[in-house]
Structure 1
Amino acid sequence: MLAALQRGIPLARRPFEELSRELGCGESELVAFAARMLKDGTARRFGAVFDARRLGYTSALCCATVAEPDAAALAIVGCKEVTHCYLREAPGCPNLWWTWSAPSGSFDASLAKVDIPFHVLPAVRRYKVDVMFGAATRATEESTVDSLPFPDETERRIIRALQGETELRSDYFSAIAEKVCVKEWDLLAILEMWRRQGRLKRIGLLLNHRKAGYSANGMCCFRIGGNVVEAGRALAELDSVTHCYERPACKAFPYNLYAMIHCASMDEAEAGFETLKSRLAALERPPSDSVMLISAKEYKKTSMSFYE
């Protein structure tokens, strides 16, 4: 049930009933399971996951080296553009990392809110995205995004209704449709269109990975001088990798391939890092250097709020 709820509910009038038939359980059992995950904190929300780029937003990973990370993080997490912020530790590496998302037209200007020296590391190519624990993670390779029309007011109301915590009920989409003043069939048609366009990734359960037993979070970074695409594809094939991106290298952090792993312990994380290194060592031109940064402290983790 956990894997299925993370992959997302079907776009149907009775989504939980349809999904429960596939799983061989009762609808009420499935809804109750999701509710328990939310109540005990194992899941952080049930709702939609959108592709920010296809909604007219730009997102980038940022990093800085700071002497007092708690104080620096306190100022950064107050910015609405920040969705994730972590203290990540490895000798000689930047220690404060955050994700910054803003409308594409104002993205560069919005970065002026950060008053410490920092580096912006946008994704050049995505090899694997959309973390799901205990379930198959989407392996997608993308470097460009198709141009899509800007959402109209009705579509923006739908996005706002689905991007936060939504109510678990058998007539899930009927309740959303009523809230945004559209007919249920029209809502489902819009969502199906977004799914085909790549705007909507899924509507489902989003886990709190630490509460779910994944307490060791490692960002594994590699310095690839050869074929980055080949290396990215090799890592994306591994079940242990939840995200994989190519990013520009910079003087402060000369690595250009990033892979995230989430493990139950530090020993597992170290073993996982060795597995990744072994996979890349088989390439014609293996990495010249690598490092794993462990997330020592989570300052902020939330979903992006669009059109607020």
Structure 2
Amino acid sequence: MLSPLEIKIVKRLQEDIPIVEEPYKQIASEIGISEKELMNKIDEFFKKGILRRFGAIVRHTNVGFKSNVLVVWKVPEDKIEQVVKIMASFKEVSHCYKRKSCSKWQYNIYTMIHGENRASCENTICNIVKLSGVKEFEALYTLKELKKKSMKYFV
């Protein structure tokens, strides 16, 4: 069971992070605690499994990316570590992660690539192929942007 202070912290953390020089200091001030107390609580939340990840969502269309493609790759297990380092090094790649494959879907590495247009995404794919040597992939282009919302536990 969370204390009233912990609920207050979770409620604030599920909102946007202020774009200021010291965002955690500002959040702590809004809650009425010190920055150190806030950081200790966040650390405690991670250790207890209350908080699993903390992330930011970049609204890609607001920064000039009009085309997106999820590329799924079939990478040999013994090459994954080497290949994902190459893939993740591209500035156009916002996500690069491993997923379990199966007999009907043998792709095990997923990358999300953003570009100004489809041609720029295809150019990035070609460059990844050249550098990684991985030639088995599928490019799944975004056809429609769905509304994204983060989970809200306390409102």
TM-score range, shorter chain: 0.7 to 0.9
In the alignment, which residue of structure 1 is the partner of 2:126? 274
Q: Secondary structure at the match of 1:190?
A: helix
**Counterpart amino acid of residue 177 in structure 1:** I
Task: Tell me if the contact between 1:173 and 1:184 (Cα under 8 Å) persists in the aligned partners.
Answer: no
1:211 CA displacement? 2.4
Selected match of 2:13 from 157, 162, 167: 162
1:243–1:155 distance in 2 versus 1, CA, 3 Å: same
* 1:210 maps to 2:57: no
TM-score (structure 2 length as normaliser): 0.73
Q: How many residues align?
A: 147
Evaluate the alpha carbon distance shift between residue 177 and residue 276 of structure 1 in structure 2; reply closer, same or farther with a 3 A threshold. same
Instruction: Give the aligned partner of residue 190 of structure 1.
Output: 40
- Could you give the per-residue CA deviations for residues 47-104 of structure 1, whole angstroms, max 9, x where no partner exists? xxxxxxxxxxxxxxxxxxxxxxxxxxxxxxxxxxxxxxxxxxxxxxxxxxxxxxxxxx
**Cα distance between partner residues in 1 of 2:114 and 2:98:** 19
Q: Which amino acid aligns with 2:149?
A: T
More strand by share: 1
Cα distance in 1, alignment partners of residues 102 and 46 from structure 2: 36
Aligned twin of 1:172: 26
Distance 1:189 1:257 in 2: 33
Q: Partner of 2:110 in structure 1?
A: 258
Supply the RMSD in Å over aligned alpha carbons: 3.3
Change (3 A) 1:299 1:185: closer
Tell me the residue number matched to 2:151.
304
Shift of 1:189: 3.8
Cα distance between partner residues in 2 of 1:245 and 1:268: 21
Q: CA deviation at 1:164?
A: 1.8
Change in Cα spacing, 1:242 to 1:194, as seen in structure 2 (3 Å) is: farther
> 2: CA distance between counterparts of 1:168 and 1:226?
40
Structure 2: state its 5+ residue gaps: none
Measure, in 2, the Cα distance between the counterparts of 1:185 and 1:223: 45
**2:100 is aligned with 1:248:** yes
1:212 offset after TM fit, Å?
1.9
Distance 1:200 1:254, change over 3 A: closer
Are 1:220 and 2:71 matched, yes or no? yes
The CA deviation at 1:190 is: 2.4
Compute the TM-score of the two structures, normalised by the length of structure 1: 0.40
CA distance in 2, matches of 1:244, 1:230: 13
Taking the aligned partners of 2:128 and 2:44, their CA distance within structure 1 comes to: 34
Out of 74, 85, 88, which is 1:233 matched to? 85
Residues 222/260 of structure 1: CA separation in 2 closer, same or farther (3 Å cut) = same
For 1:271, give the aligned amino acid.
N
